Amino acid sequence: MKGNIFELKNVWKTYCNKGVETHALRGLNLTIKRGAYVAIIGPSGSGKSTLMHVMGCLDTPTKGTVLVDGKDISSLKDDELAKIRREKIGFVFQAYNLIPGLSAIENVAMPMRFSGHGKKESQEKAISLLKKVGLENRMHHKPSELSGGEQQRVAIARSLLNDPEVILADEPTGNLDSKTGREIMDLIEDLHKRTKKTVIIVTHDTKLADRTCNQIRMIDGDIAK
C-alpha cells in the first residue's frame, strides 16, 4: 500500500515550567511516505526527540494536526494512543529499556502477553524473532548477561513482535562502540530491505544518518530550510 504514513501540519509542542514557555516544535510541517528509510538529525535541543514522541503517539501536539496512517491523533485519549502504538509502531531506544529480571525471550514476548496472547504463542514468536536477529544461543540470558549490542538486538526483536508498520529508533547506537554500532545499523538496514517497513532513526550522528535514504534536518524546533 502506497501513500503517507505520517503527515504533520503546523505542529507545535510547547512545555510550560513555572510560567516559562519552551517551544520544542514550532509550526513544523512534515510528510513521510510509507516504506521510507529516514534519519531525523539535529543537535541537542533541536526538537528531534520531541518530534519522535509525537509521531510515535507517546505525546500529543499542543497545536496542529498529526496524521498517523491517515488518522488524526492530535486529540485522542491515552487508551486510543496506546492502541495505535501497540498495533502500528515498534520502538528501539538508546537505553534498550529491557526488564532486568526477565530473560531475552520474556522481554521480547511481553508485548504480546499484554495484548492478551497466551504464553506459548508469545514465546514461540519471541524465539523466532530472536533467531532472526542472531541471538539463538542467548535467548535464556538476562540483560546483565548480554553485551550492549546483544541487548539492542533483543530490543529490535521486541519492536517487531506485533508486526508494526513503523520502526522508530531513537539513537539506537548511542550506547555502543563503533563496531557494534555498525552491526546494529546493518541489522536495521537489512530489516528495512526485507520487510519494507517504514524505518525512522533519530540521531545526532551524521555518519549514521548518511546510511539512510533520506535525511530530515532539524533546528530550533522546525525543519531546516
| pLDDT score at 1 | 55
CA-nearest of 75, 69, 163, 67 to 111 is 163
The C-alpha cell at 77 is 485519549
Confidence of residue 103 (pLDDT cuts 50, 70, 90): very high
Three-class SS state of 197: coil
Mean pLDDT of the chain: 90
d(CA 50, CA 191): 25
d(CA 188, CA 181): 11
d(CA 191, CA 197): 8
Torsion angle (degrees, nearest 10) of CA 215, 65, 88, 188: 10
Confidence of residue 48 (pLDDT cuts 50, 70, 90): very high
| pLDDT score at 163 | 87
**Amino acid at residue number 68:** V
d(CA 28, CA 160): 29
Residue 29: C-alpha distances to residues 71, 124, 170, 218 (Å)? 16, 41, 20, 11
pTM attached to this predicted model: 0.89
Starting at the edge strand that comes first in sequence, how are the strands of the sheet with 222-223 ordered? 89-93, 166-170, 198-203, 37-41, 214-219, 222-223
The C-alpha cell at 72 is 488524526
| pLDDT score at 208 | 87
What is the fold, at CATH topology level, of the domain defined by 4-18+26-223? Rossmann fold (3.40.50)
d(CA 215, CA 194): 21
33-53: average pLDDT = 93
The C-alpha cell at 60 is 500529543
Pure H helices in 4-74: 48-55
d(CA 167, CA 169): 6
Is the pLDDT score of 176 beyond 90? no
Is the pLDDT score of 180 beyond 60? yes
d(CA 46, CA 223): 9
Under the phi-then-psi rule, with left for phi > 0, alpha for psi from -120 to 50, and beta for the rest, what region is 68?
Answer: beta
141-157: average pLDDT = 93
